[in-house]
Structures are given as structure tokens and as C-alpha cells.
Amino acid sequence: MQDENQHLKRELGLLDGTMLVVGSMIGSGIFIVSADIARQVGSTAWLLIIWLFSGLITIIAAVSYGELSAMFPKAGGQYVYLKEAYNKLIAFLYGWSFFGVIQTGTIAAVGVAFSKFAAYLVPAVSDENVLYEIGSFKLNAAQLVSIFTIILLTFINSRGVKNGKILQTVLTIIKIASLLGLIIFGLMAAKANVWDANWTDVWATKSFNAETGSWLPISGTALITGISAAMVGSLFSSDAWNGVTFIAGEIRNPQRNVGLSLFLGTFIVTIIYVMANVMYVAVVPLEEIAFAKSDRVAVVAANNIFGNIGTLIIAIMIMISTFACNNGLIMAGARVYYTMAKDGLFFKKAAHLNEFSVPAWALWAQCVWASALCLTGKYGDLLDFVVIIVLIFYILTIYGIFILRKKQPDAERPYKAFGYPFLPLFYIITASAISISLLITKFSTCGWGVLIMLTGIPVYYLTKSKE
């Protein structure tokens, strides 16, 4: 089989790369997870600080990746960086985790989010409509809706990339326009009494205890734990920015444009996310943010801004946003498995292309596992499941910059990590602290993600002889 890069055409410019980063990052999180953050910290100031801090460390990670993308301007992205900095085992564990947890878990979480907003339009498809129950397992209508959307998008992408790319571009433009419109109209409709109430005693932190149904003041270690737990949602919402590295083989002047796309995209999304939350606290009391039905904060905000008709429009737009996000995730994910299979580090069938020149087997394998993950838990559980592994591999990849500076000191580096070594080191320390806190406080969900990653070790050695 000929090398894939012989067939890739460098047709994407800086704007294309930036829009890909923005479109992949903005999925469902910004419309939902502020509710959980509010319940964890109970403070307007900390709600905004958590979103801002998550954005800043994401930007630091993105500009650090710029050095790696300039050194290895080829398809495969993060998988290639890990292979070059460490070895094939670490690269395989990333790919294995990408399939087992990262990409499929994200697809499942975004699918679940889509069903949350679909339930606003059609209450019969909510997670409260339990269709089947056996023991502790409950099958609800929202899970079936999530699975249906994943199957539909997989089918569309299995019929060729052209339709998938057109769908992605159109829906991403609508997604960005709808979110900007919500922010602008929300700030215009800001209510002085709501704003003033939300900023009263703004540094007093408290956490909602679901068992007692009451708020409990938190400080010290409890506050640090609450902030770590709250950052799961904001970090998840800021993820998928590295997707542009997977298509580096199709970007013009990748040594410059991939890194610049990473910076511009993450910066734009951080501004949008912080402004969206400023808008939330301008029109919705913090208590209502924390207890929005099914965590649909954006729907509550839109209802306060536009009334019922406006809310209907926003709900449809948010469904389009999550649908577009999953389309991009499904499309990009299959390419990673395909690249790995060609390296002998994944199932052979994943390297096969169908009559439409797409890796259909990889697409459908991803579909089956993502659908299974939709049945494992609610949105919050899926976030814990994904974020811990995402952070681990971001830490390893950014530490890879330090390794490659020693291993390949004379290698050409068209771009060097901004703020090296301080900013990359700051990210490594911060992400490590969050990861440890999550493993301690949410082991029941995060532990499963780590376990799936570790099961890749025996799989690697069992398949290594077949390379």
C-alpha cells in the first residue's frame, strides 16, 4: 500500500485550520457544564475563574504543541509526537486509549448532550423516559437517541468524505453564529437585579450536597477538591483542539499554520466561553444556573432573553452544534485508527478502505464502542471517563518537548514552544495536580478510564509480532 501522504493534498490554509479548531472545541459543554460548576463551588467569581483558567492552560498546551507540529508536519498528530518522543508502546497506548476512551467517550458524551436538547423539543425522548430496566441498568429514550445520531453520522461518513466535510462546514458556521448571537442579545438584555445578586458576597464558596439537598460552605482542601471536580466540565469543553494536528498532511505550510491555528482557535474559543458565562450570570440567578433542568443552562438563559420562541430556536441551534461536533469527531477519529493500522499498531482491517475511499471498518468499530459507552452512564460520568486520560496524554506529549530537546538537539524547529520551559512545565504541574485530585475524588469513573488505558499494554505485546 502506498504511503498515505502521497495522496494527501495540502488544500487547507490558516483560516481552515483555525475554524477546524474552533468547530471541534465548541460542542455541547458550554451550554451545559456551567450548572455542575455552580453546584461544585457556588460562587459567581469562581465560576468565571474556572472557565478562564481552563482556557488559559488549554492555550498553553496548544502553543506548546506548536513546536511538535512544526517538527513533524505530517498526518497523525499527537500519535506521531508520542512515537517520536517515547516509543511505539506509548504511541500505541495513546491510540488504544483514543479508541477505547478519548474519542469514543467524547462522541458518546456529545451524543448524550444532543439528546438533552432534543428532549426539550420532544419530552418523550428524555432520560426520564425509562424503556427497560434490569437490576441497576436502565435503558432510557435519551440513550437511544444518542446512539441513533452516532449511527447516522457514521453512515454518512462511510459513504465518502465530501458530504461529511460540507455538512461540517455549514453546521460549524451556524454553531458559531448562534453562540455569538446568544451572547450579544443576552448582554443587551442583562438584568441589574440578577447581576447585582450574583455578585453579592461573590467569594463565598459552597458546594451542593445531593444527599442532604442543602448547600455546605467549603474552604481549604474541600475547595481545592471542588475546583478540581468542577474543572472536569470546562476542560472537556475546551478539548478536541488537537484535532487539527491529525490533518497536518493536508495543511499548506504546516510548520507555520498548524501551530498558529492551534493558538488562534483556542484563544477565540476561550474568549467566547468566558463571555458566554458572563452573559449567563447577567440574565440567570446563580441558583437557577446550578439547578437548570437537565443542566440546560443555555436554554434557561435563552428563555429569559427571548421568551419561549427564542428558546425553541436556541435549542435547535444547540442541537445543530452538538450534531456538527460529533460529525467532526467521528470523521477525525477513524483517520487515527487508519494511520495506526498502517503502522502495524491497530487491527489490520482498520487500514482497509471501502469503495468510497474511507476506512469504513474503523468508522463502524468506533460507532459500536461509542454507542456502548452511551449506555454506561450520564453526561457527567462520561466526562470523568474521558478527561482523566486526555490529561495524562497531554502531560506526556508536552513533556515530550523536553525529551526531544535532548534527543534531537539539532533538529529543525521552525517554531519553538512559547515560554519554554516555564509555561510547558506549568501546564504539566497543573494538569498532574488535577489528574491526581480526580483519581482520588472520582475513582469509580476515572479509574475505569485508566484501566482501559492499561489493558492496552498486554494487547500491544500480543500484537507486536504481527507488525
Q: Is residue 441 part of a domain?
A: yes
Look at residue 439 and tell me if it is in a domain: yes
Domain that holds residue 273: 14-104+163-324+377-463
pTM across the whole model: 0.83
Count how many domains the chain has. Answer: 1
Note whether residue 354 is domain-resident: no
In a domain, 334, yes or no: no
Give the integer Cα–Cα distance in Å for 249 and 10.
7
Residue 372 CA, chain-centre distance (Å), reads 18
We report the CATH number of the domain holding residue 90 as 1.20.1740.10
Confirm whether 65 is domain-assigned. yes
Residues forming beta bridges with residue 321, ordered by sequence position:
none
| Residue 140 included in any domain | no
In a domain, 61, yes or no: yes
Is 424 inside any structural domain?
yes
Per-residue pLDDT of the chain (467 residues; tens, 9 = 90+): 344 443 555 767 788 788 878 888 888 788 888 999 999 998 899 999 999 999 999 999 999 998 998 888 876 788 889 999 999 899 999 998 898 888 888 898 888 888 877 887 888 888 778 778 777 777 888 889 999 999 999 999 888 777 777 777 788 788 888 888 889 999 999 989 999 999 988 888 888 877 777 788 888 888 888 888 888 888 878 888 888 887 777 678 888 888 898 999 999 999 999 999 999 999 999 999 999 887 889 889 988 998 878 778 777 888 888 888 888 888 888 888 888 888 888 888 888 888 877 888 999 999 999 999 888 766 666 667 778 888 899 999 999 999 999 999 988 888 888 899 999 999 999 999 888 888 887 787 788 878 888 898 998 888 765 55
